A and B are shown apart, each in its own frame.
Chain A
Amino acid sequence: GIQVEQSPPDLILQEGANSTLRCNFSDSVNNLQWFHQNPWGQLINLFYIPSGTKQNGRLSATTVATERYSLLYISSSQTTDSGVYFCAVVVSGGYNKLIFGAGTRLAVHP
């Protein structure tokens, strides 16, 4: 089956720093989503981005489907950005089930 690999696995930042999280996938995908799981366990939908670039405030994401990767940019990080960031994909030609990566655990310190 498809492999979804996220890097880095862990990231520690000072408040105000910028970061880039990466998601590589091993097969063609119909759908790619980025989620933030906060310390209370909630999964928050950040982006639905099967291709192209989107921005939402301090966050932006780019997916290059032909090269099978996606990037999540966090600028001017805040302590509330702490948590785990997941990339999830739907395989082309398959059902609409999301296959999740293992996540990047982000800790932002004041």
Chain B
Amino acid sequence: DSGVTQTPKHLITATGQRVTLRCSPRSGDLSVYWYQQSLDQGLQFLIQYYNGEERAKGNILERFSAQQFPDLHSELNLSSLELGDSALYFCASSVGDSGSAQYFGPGTRLTVL
């Protein structure tokens, strides 16, 4: 158990819908990261927050947005869902915003029908 929690574990929804994925970092960690794992793209970095502020952005679609709240938990919002958004979404956390190991949560498996 990494100490990073994610909910829900599984999500099945239809095209065009909007979903919210939630992540709580390890106790004491200030950075939260979101990654997407799909069959064709592999594991890809989406976005990083550090102590409530956006720190870095990767290949995150405009339909996707995220935020980190004052209690340091984070949410990833996916809207206007398409079939290709079906993937495993991971949250990770680390102590600092650089130079520290990242620990991954169990992931949320999203299926868009």
- A interface residues, Cβ below 8 angstroms from B: 30-31, 33, 35, 41-45, 48, 86, 88, 90, 95-100, 102-103
Contacts and interface: CB of A to CB of B under 8 A. Distances in A.
A44 B88 CA distance: 15
- Determine chain B's interface SS by DSSP, over half rule: strand
Contacts, number: 64
A102 B42 contact: yes
Nearest to B90: A43
A43 B89 CA distance: 11
B11 to A, nearest CB: 14
B48 A41 contact: no
A93 B58 CA distance: 16
Contacts of B102: 33, 45, 96, 98
3 pairs of A and B residues whose beta carbons are closest in the complex: A95-B56, A48-B101, A100-B43
Interface in B69-113: 88, 90, 92, 94, 96-104, 106-107, 109
B107 A42 contact: yes
Contacts of B100: 31, 48, 96
Contact of A98 (B2, B45, B107): B45
Contacts of A99: 45
B107 A43 contact: yes
Contacts of A43: 90, 104, 107
B98 A96 contact: yes
